[in-house]
């Protein structure tokens, strides 16, 4: 496909509770930064930002039409704005589509989520359950993940300890990421010793409650080169919905991610993902998903991800670095899980990832998930050239 490019990115520090900032203030911090970096105005002169795409959620914001409160911040006063109400990587994909369609030229993307505002994040996931069959049994995103983890461990023989090693790795990486929430390293023993929350999920297997915002500017390949020396190109993307009812799926596998990855690789011209990608960013909200998703992406044989992670091959400096950012397990809100992955790819491909830089990274993969037990996936390939 012809390419769209990201020319600027900003993210807040991810924190457990941004008690002194409203969502508007979080969004303004990142929007201001990408506008200052690029020097772009909003429809003030030709070539300025012409369209806004946002990502937020009515439930997390406890607000109908959650984008209406940030319209002025993203320049949507007397201008276009459209809200993607699912994982933020879809919003980046849609921003690219707007540019490729010719209907927009420069898109400002802003995503926000303030998980700390809800008394219980589980209650929001519970509301995704249909009122007829699932609410009666109390299914929320956490219990859906617990069921999926059991199914995955049972089928593949992967262990809770291997899942814990993914947490330990992410936390090691997060220690080098100044934007991450959980920067204190934890050991496999720490994870194994943490309390069971939803068997077999333990406290440290689960991503922390997080507040934060991310902004990007997306434009055409030609414009990108004029705005920055180091555009990051979106090479291809693919998505897929799985079955809604967990009983309709083989919960131990992730057929939707397999399909989304296949679509992405085909569009990006990737024939051998194991050898063509320099770094992988996976939106695993729960530890076992680090294993399950890596396998579904075709980056390791089915059932072998645990051993690969334990071997250190997915560490920084290993042959396939995964979640150099620290991943969702080090703190990103659910809605920005995938967008934060693309944000890390952006920094890595520009050589701006500081202490956690993967040397010579030119091609990266970002993935995002939405829904109970990751019912919907999106996969995106990004490149520095």
Partner 1 sequence: MSMKRKVAITGVGQSKHRGHRQDVNQPELVWEGVSDALADSKLDLKDIDCIVHGNMELFEGIHQPDMWHTLGDGARMKEGIRITTGGTTGATISCAAANLVASGLYDTVMAVGVEKQEEGQTTTGITAMADPLWGREIQTGAITGATGVIWVTELGERAEWAAAKLRVSAAKNAMRNPKAHLRINITEADVMNSRLLAYPLRLLHMCPESNGSCAVIYTNEEKAGKFPQKPVWVKDHVTIHKEETFFRGGPRPQELSQSYAARTLYDRNGIKDPYKEIDVFEMYDPSSWWEMDWACHFLRREKKEVLEMVERGDFELEGAWPINPSGGVVSTNPIGATALIRVAEAALQIRGDAGEHQVPKDVRTALASGFGGTFWTVATLLVKEL
Q: Kindly list the residues in this chain that would bind partner 1 in the complex (CB under 8 A).
A: 1-2, 50, 57-59, 62-65, 67-69, 71-72, 76-86, 90, 93-94, 96-105, 124-125, 127-128, 130-132, 238-244, 255-256, 259-260, 263, 267, 370-372, 375-376
Q: How far is the CB of 331 from partner 1 (least distance, A)?
A: 21
The residue to which tokens 């540019």 are assigned: 99
Q: How far is the CB of 128 from partner 1 (least distance, A)?
A: 4
The DSSP secondary-structure symbol of 354 reads G
Using the minimum distance from each CB to partner 1, give the nearer residue, 173 or 253: 253
Is residue 320 a contact partner of residue 346, using CB atoms and an 8 Å limit?
Answer: no
Q: How far is the CB of 332 from partner 1 (least distance, A)?
A: 17
Using the minimum distance from each CB to partner 1, give the nearer residue, 65 or 199: 65
For residues 111 and 27, give the distance between their C-alpha atoms in angstroms, rounded to a whole number: 7
Q: How far is the CB of 338 from partner 1 (least distance, A)?
A: 12
For residues 244 and 260, give the distance between their C-alpha atoms in angstroms, rounded to a whole number: 16
Using the minimum distance from each CB to partner 1, give the nearer residue, 306 or 338: 338
Using the minimum distance from each CB to partner 1, give the nearer residue, 210 or 375: 375
For residues 185 and 172, give the distance between their C-alpha atoms in angstroms, rounded to a whole number: 5
Is residue 228 a contact partner of residue 7, using CB atoms and an 8 Å limit?
Answer: yes
Name which of 365, 343, 385, 360 is nearest 231 in CA terms: 385
Q: How far is the CB of 298 from partner 1 (least distance, A)?
A: 17
What one-character-per-residue DSSP string does 246-308 give?
GGGS-TTS-HHHHHHHHHHHHHHT-S-HHHH-SEEE---SBHHHHHHHHHHTTSS-TT-HHHH
Using the minimum distance from each CB to partner 1, give the nearer residue, 165 or 370: 370
Using the minimum distance from each CB to partner 1, give the nearer residue, 107 or 361: 107
Q: How far is the CB of 323 from partner 1 (least distance, A)?
A: 24
């Amino acid at each position: 496909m012809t390419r769209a490019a990201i020319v600027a990115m900003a993210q807040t520090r991810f924190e457990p509770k941004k008690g002194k900032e409203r969502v508007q203030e979080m969004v303004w911090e990142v929007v201001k930064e990408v506008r200052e970096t690029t020097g772009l105005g909003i429809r003030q002169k030709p070539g300025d930002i012409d369209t806004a795409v946002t990502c937020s959620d009515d439930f997390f914001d406890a607000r109908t039409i959650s984008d209406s409160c940030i319209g002025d911040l993203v320049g949507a006063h007397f201008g276009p704005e459209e809200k993607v109400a699912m994982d933020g990587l879809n919003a980046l994909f849609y921003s690219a589509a707007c540019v490729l369609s010719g209907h927009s030229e420069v898109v400002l993307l802003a995503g926000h989520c303030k998980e700390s505002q809800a008394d219980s994040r589980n209650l929001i996931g519970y509301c995704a359950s249909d009122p007829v069959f699932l609410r009666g049994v109390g299914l929320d995103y956490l219990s859906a993940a617990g069921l999926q983890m059991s199914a995955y461990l049972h089928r593949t023989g992967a262990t809770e300890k291997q899942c814990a090693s993914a947490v330990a790795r992410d936390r090691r990486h997060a220690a080098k990421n100044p934007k991450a929430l959980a920067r204190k390293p934890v050991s496999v023993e720490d994870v194994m010793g943490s309390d069971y929350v939803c068997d077999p999920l333990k406290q440290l297997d689960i991503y922390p409650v997080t507040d934060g915002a991310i902004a990007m500017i997306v434009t055409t390949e030609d414009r990108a080169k004029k705005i920055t020396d180091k555009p990051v190109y979106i090479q291809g993307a693919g998505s897929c919905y799985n079955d809604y009812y967990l009983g309709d799926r083989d919960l131990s596998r992730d057929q939707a991610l397999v399909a989304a990855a296949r679509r992405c690789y085909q569009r990006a011209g990737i024939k051998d993902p194991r050898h063509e990608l320099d770094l992988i960013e996976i939106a695993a909200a729960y530890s076992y998903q680090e294993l399950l998703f890596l396998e579904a992406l075709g980056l390791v044989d089915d059932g072998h991800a645990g051993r690969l992670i334990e071997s250190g091959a997915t560490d920084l400096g290993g042959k396939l670095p995964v979640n150099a950012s620290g991943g969702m397990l080090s703190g990103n809100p659910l809605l920005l899980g995938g967008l934060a992955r693309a944000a890390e790819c952006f920094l890595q491909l520009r050589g701006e990832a500081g202490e956690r830089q993967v040397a010579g990274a030119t091609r990266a993969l970002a993935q995002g998930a939405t829904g109970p037990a990751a019912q919907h996936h999106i996969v995106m390939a990004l490149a520095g050239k």
